[in-house]
Structure 1
Amino acid sequence: MAGNGSRIVIAHLSDLHLGAHDPAAVASIAADVAAAAPTLTVVTGDLTMRARPWQFRLARNLLDRLPQPLLVVSGNHDLPLVGLERLLAPYRRFRLLVRTELDPVRRLSGLTALGLQTTPPWRWKSGRVTRRQSDTVVAVLGSAPAGAVRVLAVHHPPRAAGLARLAGHDRLMRALGSAGVDLILAGHTHVPAAGTLELKGTAHRPVEVVAGTAVSRRTRGTGRSWTAIRVDEAAITVEERQQNAAGWCAGAVRRFPRAP
């Protein structure tokens, strides 16, 4: 397994909400992420507060300072809130100023990662995974080399329930099992969390990691944080990196056995 020593290291950021951000967090986070020496940096959506061009330019500037390679997906705040552009070209600004790919793939030594765009323009908050996207999970992650870490990145957490439930959830869960996915990375809630997902019909238990808000003022009582994930042959270790008055420091650490 390639990466940092014998490990794969993934830096997971989400919900930047640039335009409603903390300047100190924006100025300091890239150095803290770089100190983790990530194999891959993943950003799971809501780069902007209201999808305005100047906010996307701020996002582009921050993305350029983060360790490469990057995998970035959009969130519900990255679509114009109202107007003709939301109807006719909802992802134009994201594609122009951030990434042209909406469902990006990164294939690295020891790691295959797929991102899915889970915000259709007719949903303002909740998400959706299409049949085509679930098929892509199986095709891309299911064909990863033996032993590779298989990562799916989405904005909306598959575990979410009620009005926040991800449409296409059951189909996606079957795809996760078929593809042998190790990690699901998500955001949207601004509340960091990590746990295993139970999949019907299989003993395979992927780990779902939801990152908090990395640099925004919309902390929902949990503070700003990003997540460092270290994967070796035996385990997946999830560490929250929290902002305090002195900068960034280690927070909660959770360790999960790696699914067979």
Structure 2
Amino acid sequence: MAVLVAHVSDLHLGAHHEDAVDGLVVDVAAARPDLTVVTGDSTMRARTAEFEQVRELLDRLPGPVLAVTGNHDLPLFSTQRVLDPYARYQSWIDADLDPVVRVPGLTALGLQSMPRWRWKNGLVTAGQATSVADVLGGAPEGDVRLLALHHPPLATGTARIVGRRRLLGAVRAARVDLVLAGHTHVPDVRIAQQSRPVFVVAGTATSRRVRGTQRSWSLISVDRGEVVVRERYFGPSGWHTGRVVTFPPG
């Protein structure tokens, strides 16, 4: 039986396109996913009013929902970033910064890749890499194993995530099928050196910052090992399917 995942990212509520928000809820709900994943930057400036908007939107999306933090979900310049940077996120979105969600046929783990002391580039700690091995490596045989974080693990150069080597090592050891990320606002689908995992970066679903492409989200299907990624784009007539990428069973 196919497992269906809706992958939404970089909502940036507070600097969003209102029509895209309303249409996104309808479009994702119509897909009837088994899990909705939100890979960070749900707010624009981590203000309370923005988190209120995010909570309302998440409650309208089909559940269960697995969400993780992004760099915009921490206060920018304030004592709260030093003293309690995740307080608003934990109050409004999820108290667990590295959440685990299990549904029939799927085990999913989210990682908090945005430490308080880094501006944009992410970090995965040794403890988090161990969690990948424990949670996803210990998933029931036959489950789709899904990892979600804000920062793309395959990014290189100045965008390279700290802890990249240990993260990718844990991903391989745990036989992860899907790694979902955001951050760039540009959709991307690829594999690394092997047939698995499939790395999916979702574009921005609702932000005004489209960076040369349309607003988008990704619908991912896994059926007997075959992975199909359908990118859904927002245009003048609403949401529609654009690029479709298929990976045969690995």
2:91 corresponding residue in structure 1: 96
| TM-score, length basis structure 1 | 0.95
- What count of residue pairs does the alignment treat as equivalent? 250
Could you tell me how far apart the structure 1 residues matched to 2:115 and 2:225 are?
Answer: 37
Could you tell me how far apart the structure 2 residues matched to 1:77 and 1:59 are?
Answer: 13
> Are residues 1:240 and 2:231 paired?
yes
1:54 corresponding residue in structure 2: 49
2:247 corresponding residue in structure 1: 256
| TM-score, length basis structure 2 | 0.98
Could you tell me how far apart the structure 1 residues matched to 2:32 and 2:243 are?
Answer: 19
Could you tell me how far apart the structure 1 residues matched to 2:10 and 2:222 are?
Answer: 23
4+ residue segments displaced more than 3 Å: none
Could you tell me how far apart the structure 2 residues matched to 1:234 and 1:80 are?
Answer: 40
How many angstroms does 1:257 deviate by?
2.0
2:155 corresponding residue in structure 1: 160
Could you tell me how far apart the structure 1 residues matched to 2:78 and 2:47 are?
Answer: 13
How many angstroms does 1:132 deviate by?
0.1
> Are residues 1:179 and 2:174 paired?
yes
Could you tell me how far apart the structure 1 residues matched to 2:235 and 2:97 are?
Answer: 33
> Are residues 1:69 and 2:64 paired?
yes
Could you tell me how far apart the structure 2 residues matched to 1:144 and 1:110 are?
Answer: 10
1:107 corresponding residue in structure 2: 102
Aligned pairs for 1:185-204 within 5 A? 185-198=180-193, 203=194
Supply the AA of the counterpart residue of 2:3: I
1:120 to 115, 120, 129: 115
How many angstroms does 1:205 deviate by?
2.4
> Are residues 1:206 and 2:206 paired?
no
Aligned pairs for 1:208-223 within 5 A? 208-223=199-214
Could you tell me how far apart the structure 1 residues matched to 2:67 and 2:225 are?
Answer: 27
Q: Indicate the SS of the match to 1:258.
A: coil
Structure 1 contact 182–258 (Cα < 8 Å) conserved:
no
Structure 1 contact 177–204 (Cα < 8 Å) conserved:
no
Supply the AA of the counterpart residue of 1:236: V
